[in-house]
């Protein structure tokens, strides 16, 4: 841990002085941006001014959120690096040095349920706290929200969503689907409109494209200029079985439930089978959440039947037993 000008900077996770370096981030210099009379009418919309930073002690709240998340060491390290860059840039500016100009558009590569949307919200909040974005809100969209039904409709829908995202983050999930229809598909129009918006509103919003790793890589190859427009790229790995069990116990605890040891054993066995059979379609923490929520419903039915004319003991009201875990076509 090191101290600068009365402010303490600590790395992510367990208060360590340095974040984990298990990071797969590609940082590239962005293409020169051409601006001018071609800017869309969005420029005329008044924006909330970004307020000067009153202090640099804004990482603590972000760190608390990150520490509650299981695993994701490389993602936490990236968030810390962004914070450190913003912090030092401000210190350089105060010292009369160039703060530099950074582009923060990002690519999130990962399977479903690996925390991409959650991290996007945290990043948006960090940018707002550090004065990069005026509002720090997150607009989450997919292909259907961007692509219209006739010529010109797509561009208008996309511009409207960019307008809503000004001052915050525009998060496009399954972004690769925009390029799947070929040259005549309106998805290409959405891509072109987004690229133009990145130029016209360079410092007014952050664009995050997310999706499966392989599909995102193919998507980036459809336009030679795309990769360099996203200087931050990070992979969200699948959770291990042990991490999924930790997530399950945390989800239950947040709802004042307890997974009995036999329940955890049954869940572990099921997750091992499901993860192996589902392969790339396994939805990680999302699958676990659905399983826990379904178990809570079965738990309620079991207690209502078992204690029809009495009040269940508090321990029973909290305990998720093996028989409460049920999946279709499985015991």
Same fold, 2-36+47-236 and 241-324: no
DSSP for 169-182 reads: EEEETTGGGGGTT-
Q: Which CATH architecture has domain 241-324?
A: Orthogonal Bundle (1.10)
Residue ranges per structural domain of the chain: 2-36+47-236, 241-324
Single out the residue of 114, 121, 65, 66 nearest to residue 244, CA to CA. 114
Going by C-beta distance under 8 Å and a sequence separation of 6 or more, which residues neighbour residue 308? none
Series of mean pLDDT values for 10-residue runs along the chain (331 residues): 42 44 38 37 43 60 91 92 88 82 91 94 93 94 92 91 96 91 79 91 93 91 85 93 97 97 97 82 90 97 94 96 85 43
Residue 295: per-residue pLDDT? 97
pTM (whole model) above 0.85: no
Q: What angle do CA 67, 70, 73 make, to 5 degrees?
A: 75
CA–CA separation, 99 and 81 (whole Å): 16
Residue 56: per-residue pLDDT? 56
Q: List Cα–Cα distances, 290 to 94, 108, 237, 254, 286, in angstroms.
A: 49, 23, 20, 15, 6
User: The CATH number of 2-36+47-236 is which of 3.40.50.620, 3.30.70.260, 1.10.540.10, 3.40.50.300?
Assistant: 3.40.50.300
Residue 23: per-residue pLDDT? 35
């Amino acid at each position: 841990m090191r101290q600068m000008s009365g402010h303490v900077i600590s790395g992510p996770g367990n208060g360590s002085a340095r974040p984990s370096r298990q990071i797969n981030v590609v940082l590239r210099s962005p293409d020169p941006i051409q601006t001018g009379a071609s800017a869309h009418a969005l420029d005329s919309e008044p924006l909330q001014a970004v307020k000067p930073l009153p202090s640099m002690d804004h990482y603590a709240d972000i760190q608390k959120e990150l520490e509650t998340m299981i695993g994701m060491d490389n993602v936490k390290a990236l968030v810390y690096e962004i914070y450190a860059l913003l912090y030092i840039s401000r210190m350089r500016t105060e010292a009369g040095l160039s703060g530099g100009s950074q582009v923060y558009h990002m690519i999130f590569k990962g399977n479903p349920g690996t925390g991409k949307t959650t991290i996007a919200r945290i990043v948006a909040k960090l940018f707002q706290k550090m004065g990069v974005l005026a509002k720090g809100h997150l607009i989450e969209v997919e292909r259907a929200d961007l692509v219209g039904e006739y010529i010109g409709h797509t561009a208008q829908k996309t511009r409207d969503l960019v307008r809503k995202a000004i001052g915050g983050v525009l998060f496009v999930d399954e972004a690769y689907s925009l390029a799947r229809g070929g040259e005549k598909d309106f998805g290409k129009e959405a891509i072109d409109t987004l690229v133009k918006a990145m130029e016209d509103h360079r410092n007014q919003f952050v664009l995050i494209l997310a999706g499966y790793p392989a599909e995102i890589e193919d998507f980036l190859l459809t336009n030679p200029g795309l990769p360099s427009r996203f200087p931050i790229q990070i992979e969200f790995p699948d959770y291990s079985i042990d991490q999924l069990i930790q997530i399950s116990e945390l989800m239950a605890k947040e709802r004042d439930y307890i997974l009995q040891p036999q329940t955890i054993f049954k869940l572990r066995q099921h997750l091992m089978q499901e993860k192996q059979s589902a392969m790339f379609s396994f939805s990680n923490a999302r699958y676990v959440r659905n399983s826990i929520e379904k178990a809570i419903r079965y738990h309620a039915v079991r207690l209502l039947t078992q204690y029809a004319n009495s009040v269940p003991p508090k321990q029973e009201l909290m305990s998720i037993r093996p028989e409460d875990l049920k999946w279709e076509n499985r015991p």
